[in-house]
Amino acid sequence: MSSTYKPQGYNSVSPYLVVNGADATIAFLQEVFDATLLFRLADGGRVMHAEVRIDDSVIMLADGAADFSSLPAHVHVYVPDVQACYQRALAAGATSLQEPMRKQDADRRGGVRDAGGTSWWIGTKEGQ
């Protein structure tokens, strides 16, 4: 279905992360989630706005500034193999929040925090 109110291939809702170290976050997303950089606008060493695609979703991000401070955030991402993704995140320097495990629902889920302060909850649906 074509839309005239948003860019082609963009989802209707996108998280906008204001982080400490946007370039490092972009590199982390590329390494861990195989993200594709769609757009990056910088002013000197500061990322003013960037967009990356993970699977079918776009995440927007920027570096914090004095009038636009970085904030911690939590983002959930479904991946084909939660254990492999969790290990890639740790290898890329993330801190473990929770090893992947199955709880009361059909997902196996774990969590990590990247150097920019974002908590990434990763999950794979395993059954009903």
Q: Does residue 60 lie in a domain region?
A: yes
Asked if residue 32 is part of any domain, the answer here is yes
Q: Can you tell me which residue has the tokens 């995440």?
A: 59
- Helices H, strands E: what count in the chain? 2, 8
Other beta carbons less than 10 A from residue 20's beta carbon: 16
d(CA 18, CA 68) in angstroms, rounded, equals: 8
Domain span at residue 119? 16-125
Question: Does the structure show a pLDDT above 70 at 2?
Answer: no
In a domain? residue 101 = yes
- Ranges of beta strands (E only) in 1-128 are 16-19, 36-43, 46-54, 57-63, 73-78, 95-102, 107-113, 118-125
Mean predicted confidence (pLDDT) in 71-82 = 96
Q: Considering the chain, what is the average pLDDT of its residues?
A: 94
Domain assignment present for residue 66? The answer is yes
127: Cα within 13 Å, side-chain hemisphere: 3
Residue 37 belongs to domain with CATH number: 3.10.180.10
In this structure, which amino acid lies at residue 78?
Answer: Y
pLDDT for position 72 = 93
Could you tell me if residue 106 is inside a domain? yes
pLDDT, one tens digit per residue, over 18-71 is: 999 999 999 999 999 999 999 999 998 899 999 999 999 999 999 998 888 999
Tell me whether residue 9 is in a domain. no
Residue 1 belongs to a domain: no
Number of domains within the chain: 1
Q: Is residue 5 part of a domain?
A: no
User: Rounded to two decimals, what is the model's pTM?
Assistant: 0.92
